[in-house]
Chain A
Amino acid sequence: MGNSSSMLTQYDIEEVQEHSQRLFSQHEIVSLYERFCQLDRNAKGFISADELLSVPEFAMNLLSQRLLKMVDGLNFKDFVAFLSGFSAKASVQQKIKLIFKVYDSDGNGKVSFNDILEVLRDLSGSFISDSQREQVLTQLLKEAGYSKDTYLTLDDFIKILGSSGLRMEVEVPVD
């Protein structure tokens, strides 16, 4: 893959397309490559955490640290695969899978009570106390039919989030 030059061959584009389930058009992949090269300042072939955090809009995002762990060090192919969940063509299932991966930070396929608490901590900071967060989560889990010790799987997530008309789309600017 052209990591030192800024030219993508047709073969490269198709390979990336396959890897990301054909959720991006060829034009979009070329655009994403330009963006990738722009962020990867010294053409290392991946974007470092520091370079991503130099985008102020990203640095201000509450989940930036979590996303950094997922994106840091990815090569272009995996970078596009990561973003494919945000394509308009992605199914609701694919989007929920992405959300699940954000919660499941240790990647063991299960989201525990504590995993959810940690995300909530990122989102609410010091404005809700730890015990209050636990209380709220326990209550809501109970109302939905889960207990505090349940591990949520991807199917559970699909069940919980699938009906709410999830919208998670990003438009790739194409010249």
Chain B
Amino acid sequence: MSSSQGKLKPSSSELDLDRPNIEDYLPSGASIHEPHGKLHLRDLLDISPILTEAAGAIVDDSFTRCFKSNPPEPWNWNVYLFPLWCFGVVFRYMILFPLRALVLTIGWIIFLSCFIPVHFLLKGNDALRKKLERVLVELICSFFVASWTGVVKYHGPRPSMRPKQVFVANHTSMIDFIILEQMTAFAVIMQKHPGWVGLLQSTILESVGCIWFNRSEAKDREIVARKLRDHSQGADNNPLLIFPEGTCVNNQYSVMFKKGAFELGCTVCPVAIKYNKIFVDAFWNSRKQSFTMHLLQLMTSWAVVCDVWYLEPQNLRPGETPIEFAERVRDIISVRAGLKKVPWDGYLKYSRPSPKHRERKQQSFAESVLRRLEEK
């Protein structure tokens, strides 16, 4: 996930097909000002609308806002509050953190001492092995959640194992997955990570069913789409959890949903996750922190408080395209979790917008000039 150091490259055209026309959503100075009348030199030279748009983007833009961490507000200190805060820091780092690390270690010991035997000894008896592994994964996730003193309130009916059903949720951090997994053992689709996380992914998560993708591979999308379809059709596969935003967003905004989860011919069950910022900002800013640092930050804060809503399952309506379906579900989740919607593709974090947008603008400018030239 440290692709922030690499140079951005132009996005492949395949990524375009995922989203509706951005121009429909963006306030565009150049298109609002309806030029008419005979063309004069001043009209040709007046580039002020375009410059205004560019300067507006330099000064503030809705895309960067989605990935802004919100550090906790510093307290107003005085004689009484400063020692209290210091005490809080000492308590969190010296008492809470070791306790939590201990809990996590115990959890791992229990988990591994059960998982390894089950995994190897029950090789023949698949159904039982899968069932036990599911329970164990839910267990270790609960230990993780306890290690940040996670206070999670679940609303709505618990997900059940049914074929032709996928779950989609908004994405703030990798801990989203852990929080949902402690309640139900989902199968998940993830970017393969380096380091210890990758190791965990290839060993433990394989047991609940995982699909890997690689953002930088253009052809990868078709392979992944096929794997998704195969998985969702299988009756004894764990229900699939997908984060259609494709990247971590800061829990105040939602970026466009990729349509992959919405064209599988399955029921889509939306899940909304909202973290309470008072205790900690759970957004994992992968450009700024590694996952290990992020976890340590969580383990040294007071608590991770969040709400999870399991919302009403949705189906593709007749005459609705997968993109419209994705937008509709994004709407449902954003309303429930109090997120503002922005018309951007999350992958723009890693690649540049396609030249198609510029070409459209150039075409509109060219047409307007040629048209007005004819007018008298």
**A complexed with B:** yes
Interface residues of A (CB under 8 A from B): 32, 35, 38-39, 41, 50, 52-64, 67, 71, 83, 86, 95, 98-99, 102-103, 116, 119-120, 123-128, 136-137, 140-141, 143-144, 146, 157, 160-161, 163-164, 166-173
Please name 20 further chain A to chain B contacts, defined as beta carbons within 8 Å, in addition to the given A50-B7, A56-B63, A164-B42, sorted by A numbering.
A35-B60, A39-B64, A52-B58, A55-B63, A56-B61, A57-B57, A58-B58, A71-B58, A83-B55, A99-B47, A124-B369, A125-B366, A126-B359, A127-B362, A141-B41, A144-B42, A167-B52, A168-B48, A172-B60, A173-B60
Q: Is the CB of B353 within 8 A of A60?
A: yes
Q: Contacts A50-B7, A61-B57 hold; do A124 and B51 have CB atoms under 8 A apart? A: no
How close is B66's CB to chain A, nearest CB, in angstroms?
11
By a CB distance below 8 angstroms, the chain B residues around A102 are: 47, 51
Q: Is the CB of B41 within 8 A of A55?
A: no
Q: Is the CB of B362 within 8 A of A32?
A: no
Q: Does B155 contact A (CB under 8 A)?
A: no
Among A32, A38, A140, point to the contact of B41 (Cβ < 8 A). Answer: A140
Q: Contacts A56-B348, A127-B362 hold; do A169 and B52 have CB atoms under 8 A apart? A: yes
Q: Does B219 contact A (CB under 8 A)?
A: no
Give the complex CA separation of A172 and B63 in angstroms: 16
Main secondary structure of the interface of B (DSSP, over half): helix
Q: Does B24 contact A (CB under 8 A)?
A: no
By a CB distance below 8 angstroms, the chain A residues around B366 are: 124-125, 127-128
Q: How many residues of B contact A (CB 8 A)?
A: 48
Give the complex CA separation of A143 and B117 in angstroms: 89
Give the complex CA separation of A124 and B4 in angstroms: 33
Among B39, B45, B68, B367, point to the contact of A127 (Cβ < 8 A). Answer: B367
B10: nearest residue on chain A (CB-CB)? A59
Interface residues in B341-373 (C-beta closer than 8 Å to A): 344, 348-349, 352-353, 357-359, 361-363, 365-367, 369-370, 373
Q: Does B53 contact A (CB under 8 A)?
A: yes
Q: Is the CB of A128 within 8 A of B370?
A: yes
**How many A-B Cβ pairs are below 8 Å?**
150
Q: Is the CB of B61 within 8 A of A124?
A: no
Among A50, A98, A103, point to the contact of B8 (Cβ < 8 A). Answer: A50
Among B39, B47, B58, point to the contact of A55 (Cβ < 8 A). Answer: B58
Interface residues of B (CB under 8 A from A): 4, 7-8, 22, 26, 39-42, 44-48, 50-64, 68, 287, 344, 348-349, 352-353, 357-359, 361-363, 365-367, 369-370, 373
Give the complex CA separation of A60 and B23 in angstroms: 11
Q: Is the CB of B59 within 8 A of A62?
A: no
Main secondary structure of the interface of A (DSSP, over half): helix
Among A32, A57, A136, point to the contact of B61 (Cβ < 8 A). Answer: A57
Among A146, A161, A172, point to the contact of B42 (Cβ < 8 A). Answer: A161
Q: Is the CB of A35 within 8 A of B41?
A: no
Q: Contacts A50-B7, A144-B41 hold; do A124 and B53 have CB atoms under 8 A apart? A: no
How close is B374's CB to chain A, nearest CB, in angstroms?
11
Among B8, B45, B63, point to the contact of A116 (Cβ < 8 A). Answer: B45
Among B47, B64, B344, B362, point to the contact of A124 (Cβ < 8 A). Answer: B362
Among A59, A144, A146, A170, point to the contact of B52 (Cβ < 8 A). Answer: A170
Give the complex CA separation of A53 and B351 in angstroms: 10
By a CB distance below 8 angstroms, the chain B residues around A136 are: 39, 44, 369, 373
Q: Is the CB of A53 within 8 A of B58?
A: no
Q: Is the CB of B42 within 8 A of A61?
A: no
Q: Contacts A136-B373, A144-B40, A160-B42 hold; do A119 and B47 have CB atoms under 8 A apart? A: yes
Give the complex CA separation of A42 and B255 in angstroms: 25
How close is B234's CB to chain A, nearest CB, in angstroms?
38
Give the complex CA separation of A43 and B24 in angstroms: 35
Give the complex CA separation of A98 and B352 in angstroms: 27
By a CB distance below 8 angstroms, the chain B residues around A119 are: 47
By a CB distance below 8 angstroms, the chain A residues around B349 are: 54
7 interchain pairs (CB within 8 A)?
A32-B59, A38-B68, A52-B58, A56-B61, A144-B40, A160-B42, A160-B45
B370: nearest residue on chain A (CB-CB)? A128
Q: Contacts A54-B8, A59-B352, A86-B55 hold; do A123 and B60 have CB atoms under 8 A apart? A: no
